[in-house]
């Protein structure tokens, strides 16, 4: 390339919109440059920390060969998953499963059952913790409680505890030598072994009840804090007016407070449900119910079925992404405010 | 009771609720406040009692029946910290850094073939009781915080101070933990196969904990009149960079400090991602907690977890000292 052509090229670059960002001339362009500089680190982190790995995960979920080099294309993992989900359906399950499955035979409904477990258990714990969160946030906001700062600190500290520790806390409360187990055993005269909630065979009602409390241990603080943000914006003048006009506290809550905090409640439900679906350590320790996250562990650590795990993780991710954004859009709930 | 009490009352229809309170209304007026207060107390007890019990039990020799018994002992803590050697090969938090002094220190061979060997008279084994995992996790989490600062403070400033296309979307992605730890772990497995576990863990921690940093810093920025501060500094002759580094950032000190503390603690305790991604090298702290919980006797596990409780208590005290209510800034996950 001759010197002359190079100059031309540089001139062309100089005139492109990109060059205006790099070499700004007006204040507006300078501001654009600043925004670019400020956001670049975040984009780098988002691309290398999240985007590239997620694309790789999706690629593996449709790859024929993944143990050494990732190559080839197949949709078998998804066929298998959907066949398994179909097999879980009542009545028509077996036939639909056989239609979808790659081998032409009906497959075990194990994934269908796991996904169902994740969903109903997540919904149950979400409703419980958000309900409790409303009550706690209400009390913290409205009542003259002593040492309010300390109370908030005490309610929020479990956010720092990983799920495995939450599980251990349940062993402390409900295990064979657990506090509540022993108190109950002394009161009722029954042997602790039949009362304990943790360490029971997986899937039994007692084991699931233990896991339920383990989930609540992680979820109550999060739900409460989300709702505290909502409560901070409630119009107290309207509540006072309602009370002075003769409404009972319950009526005031039902007709004045609740309509105001409803978007906040929906936001809290969405975010708490996300938390519930993503809980892993608690289940790994207590082993009480086969949920999706627990299934990942078996897929990866027991049999190295990375393609199925990736397909399941992709479904999981797309599902949470969709319901988060759709939910937050339709409720116009301000996230994290 | 009037008959209207039994009719469905709806806010949508604009119907006026009954004026005379129903029995439920009278009950709620009488006991509602007490019930909610009791519920708060019960919730705090549910969250706090097992923690206190675990901590207390870790100093006892036995645990049978409702209360721990036997004498007070530090043995559980010593075992968990790796200060005392337990029977068998099990070690606590990564056990010891063992340094075995070489047998032969120095060999001098003379030209005539005579060798002078300087030997250490006896085997020297230096065992340093350092909880390696703890130190390692502290460091890993610290690196994560550094990345979070470099990434989080600018993005928080950009979305608070400026308006640009896609600002809302960027904001949502910055404060919402989009990818759960376990999903990110699976995604990392094959993406960076040659990356040492250390780098992968730091990268993952930074991504998973960035929302806490952005939220905390943003709440500081929102309490400042950024435009005016920036314009005053600029009109007094400071360049934009100087303004940002010496005026804006120091102004958001509280948010930056509390964001750092929270993202540090959460990274140090991050389990789901570490469990899937970790393959070799020094182990993160959370994996040792897991090993203690799933393999060790109750009291030793209690001691191992209590180590973490001590850290959390210290961090909480620090946060309150900075002016936050403990971990309440990190309300989103």
Question: Is the CB of residue B55 less than 8 Å away from at least one CB of chain A?
Answer: no
Write the residue in B157, B190, B192 that is nearest to A306 by C-beta: B190
From the options 1.10.3720.10, 1.10.10.10, 3.90.180.10, 3.40.50.620, give the CATH code of B132-330: 1.10.3720.10
A244 and A172, same structural domain? yes
Cβ contact (<8 Å) for A41 and B154?
Answer: yes
Cβ contact (<8 Å) for B53 and A321?
Answer: no
A316 and A209, same structural domain? yes
Say if A324 falls within a structural domain. Answer: yes
Q: In this predicted model, which residue has the larger pLDDT, B237 or B83?
A: B237
Question: Is the CB of residue A184 less than 8 Å away from at least one CB of chain B?
Answer: no
Write the residue in B43, B187, B211 that is nearest to A220 by C-beta: B43
pLDDT higher than threshold 80 for residue B172: yes
Distances (CA, A) of A111 to A97, A108, A318, B24, B31: 12, 8, 17, 45, 47
Q: Provide the CB-side half-sphere exposure for B280 (13 A, CA).
A: 4
pLDDT for position B1: 38
A151 and A226, same structural domain? yes
Q: Is B321 exposed, middle or buried (0-12, 13-18, 19+ CB in 10 A)?
A: exposed
pLDDT digits (tens, 9 = 90+) for B27-75: 777 788 888 999 999 999 999 999 999 998 888 877 766 666 777 778 7
Say if A93 falls within a structural domain. Answer: no
Q: In this predicted model, which residue has the larger pLDDT, B16 or A323?
A: A323
Cβ contact (<8 Å) for A160 and B207?
Answer: no
- Give me B150's structure tokens: 């470099």
pLDDT digits (tens, 9 = 90+) for B241-300: 899 999 999 989 888 998 998 888 888 889 999 999 888 777 788 888 888 888 878 888
pLDDT higher than threshold 50 for residue B98: no
Write the residue in A46, A151, A165 that is nearest to B289 by C-beta: A165
Question: Is the CB of residue B47 less than 8 Å away from at least one CB of chain A?
Answer: yes
Q: What is the DSSP string of B173-231?
A: HHHS--S-HHHHHHHHHHHSTTS-HHHHHHHHHHHHHHHHHHHHHHHHHHTS-HHHHHH
For the entire predicted model, the pTM comes to 0.83
pLDDT for position B105: 53
pLDDT for position B23: 76
Say if A83 falls within a structural domain. Answer: no
Question: Is the CB of residue A88 less than 8 Å away from at least one CB of chain B?
Answer: no
Q: SS3 for A335?
A: coil
* Chain position carrying tokens 């975010």: A271
Residues 117-176 of A with CB under 8 A from B: 132, 135-136, 138-140, 143, 145, 149, 151-165, 167-173
Q: Whole domain around residue A133: which residue ranges?
A: 114-331
Cβ contact (<8 Å) for A336 and B175?
Answer: yes
* Chain position carrying tokens 């082993």: A287
> How many CB pairs below 8 Å do chains A and B form together?
292
pLDDT digits (tens, 9 = 90+) for A206-254: 899 999 999 999 999 999 988 988 888 888 898 889 888 888 888 888 8
Question: Is the CB of residue B62 less than 8 Å away from at least one CB of chain A?
Answer: no
Extract the residue ranges of chain A whose pLDDT is less than 50. Answer: 1-2, 333, 335-337
Total count of domains within chain A = 2
Give me the CATH number covering residue A175.
1.10.3720.10
Write the residue in B21, B206, B331 that is nearest to A45 by C-beta: B206
Residue A13 CA to residue A150 CA, distance in Å, equals 60
A126 and A35, same structural domain? no
Residues of A in contact with B55 (CB under 8 A): none
- Give me B116's structure tokens: 């002078």
A149 and A40, same structural domain? no
Neighbours of A242 (CB within 10 A): 19
pLDDT for position B126: 44
Mean pLDDT of chain B, nearest integer = 78
Residues of B in contact with A222 (CB under 8 A): 331-333
pLDDT higher than threshold 50 for residue B92: no
pLDDT higher than threshold 80 for residue B108: no
Residue A37 CA to residue A42 CA, distance in Å, equals 10
A273 and A195, same structural domain? yes
Q: In this predicted model, which residue has the larger pLDDT, B100 or A62?
A: A62
Say if A77 falls within a structural domain. Answer: no
For A242, the enclosing helix (H) or strand (E) is helix A236-244
pLDDT for position B152: 94
Cβ contact (<8 Å) for A39 and B183?
Answer: no
Say if A337 falls within a structural domain. Answer: no
Residues of A in contact with B266 (CB under 8 A): 159-160
Write the residue in B43, B172, B286 that is nearest to A136 by C-beta: B43
Please compute Rg for chain A using Cα positions. 27
pLDDT for position B278: 86
* Chain position carrying tokens 């879980």: A88
Residue B209 CA to residue B207 CA, distance in Å, equals 6
Give the ipTM of the model, two decimals please.
0.85
Say if A234 falls within a structural domain. Answer: yes
Say if A90 falls within a structural domain. Answer: no
Residue B166 CA to residue A169 CA, distance in Å, equals 43
pLDDT for position B3: 41
Residue A200 CA to residue A287 CA, distance in Å, equals 9
**How many residues in chain A?**
337
Question: Is the CB of residue A51 less than 8 Å away from at least one CB of chain B?
Answer: no
Question: Is the CB of residue B259 less than 8 Å away from at least one CB of chain A?
Answer: no
- Domain end residue (candidates: A61, A79, A96): A61
Residues 120-159 of B with CB under 8 A from A: 147, 150-152, 154-155, 157-158
Location of each CATH 1.10.3720.10 domain in chain B: 132-330
Its sign, for the CA torsion A151, A156, A157, A163, is positive
């Amino acid at each position: 390339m001759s010197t002359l052509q190079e100059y031309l090229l540089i001139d062309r670059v100089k005139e492109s919109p990109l060059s205006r960002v790099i070499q700004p001339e007006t204040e507006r362009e300078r501001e654009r440059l600043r925004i670019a500089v400020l956001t670049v680190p975040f984009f780098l982190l988002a691309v290398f920390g999240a985007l590239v790995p997620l694309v790789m995960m999706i690629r593996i979920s449709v790859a024929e060969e993944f143990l050494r080099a990732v190559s080839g294309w197949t949709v078998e993992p998804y066929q298998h998953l959907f066949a398994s989900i179909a097999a879980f359906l009542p009545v028509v399950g077996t036939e639909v499963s056989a239609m979808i499955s790659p081998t032409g035979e009906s497959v075990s409904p194990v994934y269908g059952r796991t996904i169902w477990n994740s969903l109903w258990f997540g919904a149950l714990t979400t409703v419980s913790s958000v309900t409790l969160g409303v009550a706690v946030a209400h009390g913290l906001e409205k009542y003259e409680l002593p040492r309010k700062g300390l109370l908030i600190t005490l309610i929020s500290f479990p956010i720092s505890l990983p799920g495995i520790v939450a599980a251990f806390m349940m062993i402390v409360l409900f295990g064979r030598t657990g506090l509540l187990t022993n108190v109950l055993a002394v009161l009722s005269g029954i042997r602790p072994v039949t009362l304990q909630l943790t360490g029971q065979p997986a899937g039994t009602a007692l084991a699931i009840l233990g896991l339920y409390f383990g989930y609540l241990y992680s979820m109550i603080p999060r739900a409460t804090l989300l709702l505290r943000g909502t409560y901070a914006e409630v119009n107290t003048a309207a509540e006072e007016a309602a009370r002075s006009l003769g409404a009972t506290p319950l009526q005031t809550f039902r007709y004045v407070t609740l309509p105001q905090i409803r978007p906040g409640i929906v936001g809290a439900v969405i975010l708490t449900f996300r938390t519930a679906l993503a809980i892993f350590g608690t289940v790994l320790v207590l082993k009480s119910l086969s949920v999706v996250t627990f299934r990942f562990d078996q897929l990866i650590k027991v049999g190295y079925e990375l393609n199925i795990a990736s397909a399941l993780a992709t479904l999981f991710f797309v599902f949470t992404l969709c319901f988060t954004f759709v939910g937050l859009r339709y409720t116009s709930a301000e996230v994290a405010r | 009771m009037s008959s209207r009490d039994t009719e469905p009352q709806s806010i949508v229809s604009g119907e006026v609720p009954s004026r005379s309170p129903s029995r439920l209304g009278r009950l709620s007026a009488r006991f509602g406040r007490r019930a909610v207060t009791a519920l708060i107390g019960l919730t705090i007890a549910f969250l706090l009692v097992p923690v206190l019990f675990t901590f207390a039990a870790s100093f006892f020799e036995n645990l049978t029946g409702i209360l721990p018994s036997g004498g007070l002992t530090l043995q559980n803590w010593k075992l968990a910290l790796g200060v005392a050697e337990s029977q068998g090969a099990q070690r606590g938090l990564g056990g010891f850094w063992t340094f075995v002094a070489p047998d032969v220190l120095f060999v001098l061979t003379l030209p005539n073939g005579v060798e002078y060997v300087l030997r250490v008279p006896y085997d020297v084994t230096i065992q340093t009781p350092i909880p390696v995992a703890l130190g390692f996790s502290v460091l890993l989490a610290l690196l994560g915080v550094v990345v979070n600062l470099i990434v989080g403070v600018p993005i928080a400033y950009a979305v608070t101070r400026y308006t640009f296309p896609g600002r809302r979307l960027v904001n949502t992605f910055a404060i919402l933990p989009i990818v759960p730890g376990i999903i990110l772990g699976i995604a990392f497995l094959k993406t960076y196969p040659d990356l040492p576990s250390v780098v992968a863990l730091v990268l993952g921690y930074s991504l998973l904990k960035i929302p806490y940093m952005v939220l905390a810093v943003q709440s500081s920025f929102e309490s400042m009149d950024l435009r005016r501060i920036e314009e005053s500094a600029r009109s007094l002759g400071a360049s934009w960079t100087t303004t940002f580094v010496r005026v804006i950032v120091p102004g958001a000190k509280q948010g930056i400090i509390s964001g750092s503390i929270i993202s540090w603690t959460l990274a140090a305790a991050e389990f789901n991602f570490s469990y899937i991604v970790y393959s070799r090298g020094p182990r993160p702290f959370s994996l040792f907690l897991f090993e203690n919980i799933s393999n060790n006797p109750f009291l030793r596990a209690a001691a191992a977890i209590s180590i973490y409780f001590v850290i959390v208590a210290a961090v909480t005290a620090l946060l309150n000292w900075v002016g936050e209510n403990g971990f309440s800034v990190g309300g989103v996950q």
